[in-house]
Amino acid sequence: MESDIKKRNKKDTTRNMTEGPPARLILAFSVPLMLGYVMQQLYNVVDMMVVGRTIGVKALAGVGVTAPLNFLIIGLCIGLCSGFVIPVAQRFGAGDHTAMRRFIANGVWLSIIFAIFITIITTLFCGRILTLMKTPDDIYAHAHSYIFTIYCGIPMVFLYNFSSGLMRAVGDSKTPMKILIVSTIVHIFLALWFVVYLDGGTAGVAWSTVASHFLSGSLCLIILMKRFPILRLKKEDWRWRWPLCRALCAMGIPMGLQYSITAIGGVILQSSVNTLGSSAAAAVAAATRVSVFFTCVFEALGNAMATYGGQNVGAGRLDRLDHGVKAAIKMAAIYSVISYALLWFFGQNLAMLLVDSAEAHILSDTALYLRVMSAFMIPLSMVIIYRFMIQGMGFGMLAIIAGFCELIARALAAWVLVPVLGIIGAALAGPLAWFFADAFLIPLYYYCKRRLAAQLTLARGG
């Protein structure tokens, strides 16, 4: 082993998650991640606040209808980066730092290739997709200028998510959180400057997001080079290695597609909501932004489980997996109850941060959506916890099937529930998708654990 984890440099903020109480480790790792995700969601909330308050409801609806498209592609990019760092976490857990660095180098090459390809494709076809989504004419221009600009910044998304993912893979979740706090503050000022002073419209808000991603990614890269000696790449690490690239793609592509498949269901649902008119689109947009602000905590827990699972599988500590899952579910359940109470009583007040108080009908529909959706946050948390754990264990391709379960459920809601129940039907689409996914993911977790146990026994000559 090139360096002893227990005697690491003081500036090296890695964390070994293969030893110690799982609940304490996961909580300590998750809290900075949670704060980081809250900061990340503030990007979107600030966008909506600036747009809704300074440009108007039409612009708010225009930005809102792009949310599924945003999640479809940006989620793909985030998923790819998350998958690319799982082998890094596994090699770190196993103490094989040479292989870890080579995975990092090949992950860099793949990130560059995917970033260029995805940027070209999305900027060429985003207008056609908005048309297929039946985007109302009165908000189309706002939607197109916003999403086109966001897609132009895809390389910055890769820069931040891959570099911050490397930090998390070796157990440091605090540094990315601190960087996000800085970039979020910068984003707030940039958004106001682009829109209020430069009159940049929805494109101006999007450019402020792109600039902030560039800032956060650059800071992560600089800190990686200075603070993490075990991540510093040598000349021989940069060689393209097909076996490593295949292994990285086997992790990254399923995780990316998982986000995208789920988002396709969101696109189908949004298309159905668009038929209800721009007011309904604005209500769903506002409710989605508020709800994501609360549910992003589950994404933090999920990322913690991916790192926890990856390190413990790499170290052969399969006995610790169940303990980690149970601890995460308990934390998520407590948080879900608190969030439900807050959204039930204060959902409309939170929506008023995005929508002018004069838009009483939109605010009422937003509050209704939040009350229905938030009653099912525990099933959502279980989807994320089990899915990320399975991916961290190395079975990303199997976990992707859960995305198809969610896609089917959201499509059913779009075609059956929304035309009949309106806003309530849209709010029920998520819970229906989460129950479908849980029914698949929970048994899959135990199946994957049995397979790993058999592989480990065979490797040990048992």
Show Cβ contacts of residue 168 under 8 Å, excluding neighbours closer than 6 positions. 29, 33, 85, 176, 303, 307
Q: What is the distance in angstroms between the CA of the first residue and the CA of the last residue of the chain?
A: 25
The rounded distance, in Å, linking the Cα atoms of 130 and 226 is 43
Q: What is the pLDDT of residue 43?
A: 67
Q: What is the pLDDT of residue 356?
A: 63
Look-up of token digits 């209808």: 65
Please state the separation of Cα 305 from the chain's center in Å: 14
Q: What is the pLDDT of residue 328?
A: 92
Q: What is the pLDDT of residue 422?
A: 86
Q: How far is CA 275 from CA 2, 134, 355, 411, 418, in A?
A: 60, 7, 21, 15, 10
The rounded distance, in Å, linking the Cα atoms of 456 and 462 is 9
**233 phi and psi angles, rounded to 5 deg:** -85, 145
Kindly report the pTM of this predicted structure.
0.71
The rounded distance, in Å, linking the Cα atoms of 70 and 63 is 10
Q: What is the pLDDT of residue 12?
A: 46
Q: What is the pLDDT of residue 383?
A: 92
The rounded distance, in Å, linking the Cα atoms of 323 and 317 is 11
Asked if residue 264 lies in contact with residue 405, where contact means CB atoms within 8 angstroms, the answer is no
Q: 258-275 burial by CB neighbour count: b if 16+ within 10 A, else e?
A: bbbbbbbbbbbbbbbbbe
Look-up of token digits 């790449």: 233
Q: For every one of its 462 residues, what pLDDT tens digit does the chain have, with 9 covering 90 and above? A: 344 434 444 444 556 777 888 888 888 878 877 777 777 677 667 777 777 767 777 887 788 778 778 878 888 898 899 889 888 877 887 778 888 888 899 999 999 999 999 999 999 998 888 888 888 888 888 889 999 999 999 999 999 999 988 887 777 777 887 888 888 888 888 888 888 777 778 888 889 889 988 999 999 888 888 887 777 888 888 888 888 999 899 888 887 887 777 778 777 887 888 788 878 877 887 788 788 888 888 888 888 888 888 888 877 888 888 999 999 999 999 999 999 999 998 888 887 776 666 677 888 888 898 999 999 999 999 999 999 899 888 887 777 788 888 888 888 888 888 888 888 888 898 899 999 999 999 999 999 999 988 887 777 665
Counting every residue, how long is the chain? 462
Q: Give the torsion through C-alpha atoms of 255, 216, 24, 91, to 10 deg.
A: 50
The rounded distance, in Å, linking the Cα atoms of 5 and 190 is 41
Asked if residue 395 lies in contact with residue 321, where contact means CB atoms within 8 angstroms, the answer is no
Q: What is the pLDDT of residue 357?
A: 65
Q: What is the pLDDT of residue 182?
A: 87
Q: What is the pLDDT of residue 302?
A: 87
Q: What is the pLDDT of residue 66?
A: 84
